[in-house]
Amino acid sequence: MEYRERHKIKDILDSTAYGSEMLVKGWVRTKRGNKNVTFLSLNDGSIIHNLQVVVDVAGFDENLLKQITTGSCIAVVGKLVESKGQEQTVEIHANDITLYGTADPETYPLQKKGHTLEFLREIAHLRPRTNTFGAVLRIRHAMAYAIHKYFNDNGFFYLHTPIITGSDAEGAGAMFHVTAMELDNIPRTPEGEADYSQDFFGKATNLTVSGQLEGELGAMALGLIYTFGPTFRAENSNTPRHLAEFWMIEPEMAFYEIKENMDLAEDFLKYLITYALEHCMPDLEFLSKMYDKELLERLRFVIENDFVRLTYTEGVEILEKSGQKFEFPVSWGVDLQSEHERYLVEQHFKRPVILTDYPREIKAFYMKQNADGKTVRAMDVLFPKIGEIIGGSQREEDYTKLKTRIGELGIPEKDMWWYLETRKFGTAPHSGFGLGFERLVLFITGMANIRDVIPFPRTPKNAEF
């Protein structure tokens, strides 16, 4: 087959250049037909829809056609023809076929349709070839692009924060240690503890749980920054909303107070949902049909309505008065569980909620302390079906208050001196938040389990692929 440019199926399906010759390459999804004609349904990942390739059996080597089965990869040169079929408007009539790779029908795991999502998790190396994961992965890409576009268009700078950190300060969750020491031969101090001074970095290091603290350093120079990178939490939470490795978007804004922080979070989320509706419709329609009939309605509803804003204290009052039996009892001071968050969003207000001013004991040390001495200027954005999608706060900018809080919590100051210096030199009011990328993709796709919106999920006892 002579060289020519490959046409993507996405473009072919839109084309009206009937009669012209095109080259298309992809994976066979289905094969049917009779002794005269074979119909191949071809997918190349560019769009959820397949292209129908019509093969006149008489014109091809019988042995070649026999080897083209579900899952095999082929290149086809053929003529674009207006289709008489119901399913599609165009098809390709093959003149020449090259077989790149066969897929033995006896052993190819995706030979049949209709596998469960649980089974597909066990073949994460092949599941991108299904309609569902094609749709999810294209939407995931579109969201990543839209995030960068939103921030770029609004004057934010993308700041790369480290993945290996020397501080264990955020307190957002258990950390994975990073070491170059041989685990079965660890150098030890005279007291018998691991001697990290002999380790690669000369100190104990971990995978980051958040880019925020370094993000704040950037905001104190560039004004508006965001991070977008992988974060790691070694918690044993086996829920449909937790991963041990997930991606987080963390904007940090000099001179923003909590109100502007909330406004940004709401505008940002609405922008992303709008972007998905404008750019991902074929995939959204497919997912809605297969998994979640109310998906499109829910997405539009979130864009069209103001988020409800209230304090944690008001939220707890509503929950206490609800008469609802929760698995975890609720009272002022407890950390809200996803059942509480979802009650507020789905039952009580029936729209997204931003809760603010949480008890300081259940929130991180860096949050701005309110005058009541009991609460901090935290904000969590709660979404239908998800619960917490964003966590953020206005930051404590007062050097003495911050230093005192760090002391109270027993956080070693030797780990935090650089962070404290932002409050010592040219401190400023500032705020930020973290959006869990997979929780966003969960919401947008209507999928039910976070393991199904990242290509290779990392969860307890699972790192095969």
312 binds, among ligand 4AD, Mg ion, none (CB under 5 to 8 A by kind): none
Which of positions 380-419 make contact with ligand 4AD (CB under 6 A)?
Answer: 388-393
Number of Cβ within 10 Å of residue 46's Cβ equals 17
Q: Is 48 exposed, middle or buried, given 0-12, 13-18 or 19+ CB atoms closer than 10 A?
A: buried
Number of Cβ within 10 Å of residue 32's Cβ equals 9
**Pattern 245-284, binding to ligand 4AD, x per CB under 6 A?**
-x-x-x----------------------------------
**Pattern 135-174, binding to ligand 4AD, x per CB under 6 A?**
-----------------------------------x-x--
423 binds, among Mg ion, ligand 4AD, none (CB under 5 to 8 A by kind): none
Q: Please report whether residue 391 would count as binding Mg ion according to CB under 5 A.
A: yes
Separation CA 26–CA 51 (nearest Å): 9
Residue 359 CB, shortest distance to ligand 4AD, in Å, is 15
For residues 228 and 147, is the Cβ–Cβ distance under 8 A? yes
Choice between 31 and 242, CB closer to ligand 4AD: 242
Choice between 384 and 391, CB closer to Mg ion: 391
For residues 50 and 29, is the Cβ–Cβ distance under 8 A? yes
For residues 233 and 208, is the Cβ–Cβ distance under 8 A? no
Residue 248 CB, shortest distance to Mg ion, in Å, is 11
Helix (H, G, I), strand (E, B) or coil at 199: coil
DSSP sequence for 268-310: HHHHHHHHHHHH-HHHHHHHHHHH-TTHHHHHHHHHHSPPEEE
* Choices 348-356, 362-370, 387-395, 404-412 (CB under 5 A): range interacting with Mg ion: 387-395
DSSP sequence for 155-188: T-EE----SEES---S-SS---EE--S-TTS--B
Q: Please report whether residue 392 would count as binding Mg ion according to CB under 5 A.
A: no
Residue 444 CB, shortest distance to ligand 4AD, in Å, is 13
Taking every pair of Cα atoms in the chain, the longest distance, rounded to a whole number of angstroms, is 85
* Choices 174-182, 238-246, 262-270, 353-361 (CB under 6 A): range interacting with ligand 4AD: 238-246
26 binds, among Mg ion, ligand 4AD, none (CB under 5 to 8 A by kind): none
Residues in CB range of 31: below 8 A, 6 or more apart: 38, 39, 40, 41, 68, 69, 70
* Choices 20-28, 274-282, 362-370, 389-397 (CB under 5 A): range interacting with Mg ion: 389-397
Residue 188 CB, shortest distance to ligand 4AD, in Å, is 33
266 binds, among ligand 4AD, Mg ion, none (CB under 5 to 8 A by kind): none
Residue 392 CB, shortest distance to Mg ion, in Å, is 8
* Choices 296-304, 319-327, 330-338, 431-439 (CB under 6 A): range interacting with ligand 4AD: 431-439
Tell me which residue of 369, 437, 440, 433 sits closest to 219, measured CA to CA. 433
Which of positions 35-94 make contact with ligand 4AD (CB under 6 A)?
Answer: none
Q: Is 189 exposed, middle or buried, given 0-12, 13-18 or 19+ CB atoms closer than 10 A?
A: exposed
Choice between 171 and 202, CB closer to Mg ion: 171
Residue 390 CB, shortest distance to Mg ion, in Å, is 8
Q: Please report whether residue 7 would count as binding ligand 4AD according to CB under 6 A.
A: no
Residue 32 CB, shortest distance to ligand 4AD, in Å, is 42
Helices (H), 15-107: 62-67
432 binds, among Mg ion, ligand 4AD, none (CB under 5 to 8 A by kind): ligand 4AD
β-pairing verdict for 205-207 and 177-178: antiparallel
Separation CA 447–CA 452 (nearest Å): 7
* List of residues contacting Mg ion (CB under 5 A): 391
